[in-house]
Amino acid sequence: MSQSLKRIHHVEFVVGNAKQAAFFYRKGFGFDQVAYRGPETGCPDRVSYVLKQEDVFLVLTTPPRHDDPLNTWLALHGDGVRDVAFEVTDLDETYGRAVAAGAVSHSDPAELSDEQGSVSVAVIKAYGEVLHSFVKRGNYPGFLPGFELRRLPGTPVGINCIDHIVANVEDRQMDRWVKWYDDTLGLSRFVSYDDKDISTEFTALRSTVVASGDLNIKFPINEPADGRKKSQIQEYIEANLAPGVQHLALKTDNILETIAKLRANGVDFLPVPDGYYDTVWDRVGEVAEDRDEVRRLGILVDHDDDGYLLQLFTRPLQDRPTFSIEIIQRAGSESFGKGNFKALFVTIEQEQALRGNL
Ligand code: FE2
């Protein structure tokens, strides 16, 4: 069934100031601005900027008028992801199956048109206040009808696709959402990590990854687990006031170059804990990348039976401790950096403590 979901079409964020957010993602992460929709293009209620880097499309949307209900969304959650949109091969079939399996509809299939052609879209509700749009493009040449080509080049950093998108849900809700993704979208359980895999002396979480058969779509779903102190997942849910998207993992084929450029752009990454590189090579073994460079750039490394991966996480990208970005390069491994969880979580606990949320 999941063949009906072709790929992630775009990820839409609701933000307080889309103009400035677009500048941030363009200058910080190297995206090109490619399209725009707003009052000047006949859309008085919403302003959206579309950013692109290879296959990654981000849409940044602001409600410019005070009486738009999207302002309530912003007041509750702060800047964050509102829609993870899929391109689908058969809209009626995908949407019909999802709703029949229990998904709550946000909007029925409808055709959007402009002078360039038309695209059909339907939307369902997922965890928290996150939506999934289904987009059936046909031969439409632009981003979506209603958007105007408005190009402002960025300086690409080598990001080429979305690797995975992580959901944080409430305690004891993970299994429910795993089943929901299987029932409604045909995304099945790929791997699970329990609280023994993902814990420190103080905090813990559980995670199950659901994925499409071709692994083009991978959604880890996290829930907090009991620990001596507050799980980072609980901190997220309290700051977001709801379940939501915790991070977007963006893939590169050259993480040394990508991280060097992002650091030069001033992107703020979580620091690597003291002593990490004293033991990591014993754990991971041979990698093609220069070890000194990996260390100099503060990149994390992990491996499994199939190969290894390199990854690094930003600090939250807004003042609430909610959404962040991961940069990942895979060399055979299709896992998520289990070997780094402990090291990473010690760092996150230190940051939680500084925020008074541990
Ligand atoms: Fe991740």
DSSP string, 300-330: EEEEETTEEEEEEEBPPSSSSS--EEEEEEE
Ligand 1 is an ion; residues with CB less than 5 A from it? 249, 326
Band of pLDDT at residue 3, cut at 50, 70 and 90: low
Instruction: Catalogue all structural domains in the chain, each as residue range(s) with its CATH number.
Output: 2-152 (3.10.180.10), 159-355 (3.10.180.10)
Beta bridge partners of 107: 123
Q: Do 254 and 331 contact (CB within 8 A), yes or no?
A: no
- Residue 226, Cα to own-chain centre: how many angstroms? 25
Rounded distance, CA 310 to CA 325, Å? 14
Band of pLDDT at residue 2, cut at 50, 70 and 90: very low
Q: Residues 335-343: what's their mean pLDDT? A: 84
Which amino acid, one-letter code, is at 232? Q
Q: Do 157 and 250 contact (CB within 8 A), yes or no?
A: no
The H or E element that residue 206 is part of is strand 204-211
Residue 322 has pLDDT above 80, yes or no: yes
Q: How far is the CA of 314 from the centre of ligand 1 (A)?
A: 11
Tokens 């959402």 locate to 177
For position 202, what pLDDT does the model report? Answer: 77
Q: In the structure encoding, which two tokens stand for residue 87, read together?
A: 């391109």
Q: How far is the CA of 162 from the centre of ligand 1 (A)?
A: 11
Q: Residues 158-183: what's their mean pLDDT? A: 97
- C-alpha gyration radius of the chain: 20
Q: In the structure encoding, which two tokens stand for residue 258, read together?
A: 């990508």
Tens digit of each residue's pLDDT (9 = 90 or more) over 195-247: 777 777 777 889 999 999 999 999 999 999 888 888 889 999 999 999 999 99
Burial of 298 (C-beta count, 10 Å sphere; 0-12/13-18/19+): middle
Q: What are the CA-CA distances from residue 69 to residues 59, 72, 82, 170, 242 (Å)?
A: 18, 5, 13, 25, 17
**Is the pLDDT higher at 92 or at 339?**
92
Q: How far is the CA of 144 from the centre of ligand 1 (A)?
A: 28
For position 165, what pLDDT does the model report? Answer: 98
For position 269, what pLDDT does the model report? Answer: 97
Q: How far is the CA of 94 from the centre of ligand 1 (A)?
A: 27
Beta bridge partners of 326: 249, 313
Q: How far is the CA of 70 from the centre of ligand 1 (A)?
A: 28
Residue 255 has pLDDT above 80, yes or no: yes
Q: How far is the CA of 242 from the centre of ligand 1 (A)?
A: 20
Residue 1 has pLDDT above 80, yes or no: no
> Three-state DSSP class for 9?
strand
